[in-house]
Amino acid sequence: MREFSRRGILGLGAGAAAALSVAGCSSSGSGASGRVGTKPGQTAQAKPIGDGSTAFTGKQPNQPDKPEKLEPGQKPPQFVVFSWDGAGEVGNGLFPRFRKLARDHNASMTFFLSGLYLLPESKKRMYQPPNNPVGASAIGYLADDHIKATLKNVRAAWLDGHEIGTHFNGHFCGEGHGSVKHWTPAQWQSEIDQAMEFVTKWRTNTGFTDIESLPFDYSKELAGGRTPCLLGQDNLLPTARKLGWRYDASSPGGLQVWPTKRQGLWDFPLQQVPFPGHSFQVLSMDYNMMFNQSKNSTKAPPVNYPGWRKQAAEAYIAGFRRAYETNRAPFFIGNHFEQWNGGIYMDAVEEAFKHIADEKRKDVRLVSFRQLCDWLDAQDPQVLADLRRLGVGQQFTGRG
């Protein structure tokens, strides 16, 4: 996965960050901490859909219990969502590494799958990106072995209890005519339709016969996504609403406050969090950590790596603590399966994950975006309205 040529809000430098004032469940689950259980779920006999690329296998395993409804004034759980853009496995072992980490801590995550990662490059002319040449893509097509590895990991992730969202296809950023920033609602519909085709017809497009079907109906599984470089949300939302999506995670520069809905969808932005050693804040994503440390260089001098890894981990932990100790706003972290700057951001997010998942904190819920939607939708609107009145770092004063 090579998503280096990002711009816009994802590429905030220190000055731009300062200008921005610094820049998915239940509250009770199958485990004592309310997180997703570890026992393997039982799936029904698979019923192939279409060409057999996907199949209906029944209710998704390893899901939380029915969401509990907060009483007025009751302190909410601390929700944390770790999400991954692209979700391709290219032989670096990162996808299985973080599936294991989640499994070890009874956690769920959201994986935003790029549709092109299931389309062979030999078939790239099947892709007709809006405002771009046929077959064009700002990210690379995967080799056959990597498509197979991605399919196996996506399948396993869903069976583990994780959510499979979308990162769309060609990852077109920047300010030019072809950027997703300028796509119309109709063009977003085309992009989504094509992503759906690539996921649900990979067997036809690849000819693979030695890979099991993805164990879900993607038309029902797909509940939200994140746009490339956090661009184009305004025109995506009308299309997403028409498709029945429940949320969008494309907002840039969000604050650590309780979420609201935009055009009928829950708005789950990347959030500004304290950046140790600086007076400005940084967005809660590995790319933004990297940009502010090495100015878009993915192979900076290794002498910097230990300090940068520590700084990135501490930024995530500081964001978590600020929410957990004050307003309990859900905390969102975004990542990529990349080895930027020697893999320090993967090590940093793992360190932060383990800190957040500390078993002494029984009121923390590591969930997917869709599971968070389930919990939010189960709450009394007035209770959520009261929580939204709490600003960043403002103490919750209801009963604990």
Q: Whole-angstrom Cα distance, residue 324 to residue 306?
A: 27
Supply 169's token pair: 């296809």
Positions in the chain short of pLDDT 70:
1-44, 400
Give me the pLDDT at residue 313, please.
98
3-state SS assignment for residue 70: coil
Give me the pLDDT at residue 39, please.
37
Q: Are 336 and 86 in contact (CB under 8 A)?
A: yes
Give me the pLDDT at residue 108, please.
98
Torsion over CA: 172, 176, 178, 180 (sign) = positive
Pair type for strands 78-86 and 110-113: parallel
Q: Whole-angstrom Cα distance, residue 18 to residue 361?
A: 33
Instruction: Name the strands in the sheet holding 265-267, side by side, starting at the edge strand that comes first in the sequence.
Output: 247-248, 265-267, 261-262
Q: For residue range 333-385, what is the model confidence (pLDDT) as tens digits?
A: 999 999 999 999 999 999 999 999 998 899 999 999 999 999 999 999 999 99
CATH of 8-33+52-388, one of 3.40.1410.10, 1.10.357.10, 3.20.20.370, 3.30.70.940: 3.20.20.370
3-state SS assignment for residue 16: helix
Q: For residue range 243-282, what is the model confidence (pLDDT) as tens digits?
A: 999 999 999 889 999 999 999 999 999 999 999 999 999 9
Give me the pLDDT at residue 20, please.
30
Give me the pLDDT at residue 45, please.
81
pTM equals 0.90
Give me the pLDDT at residue 398, please.
86
Give me the pLDDT at residue 400, please.
59
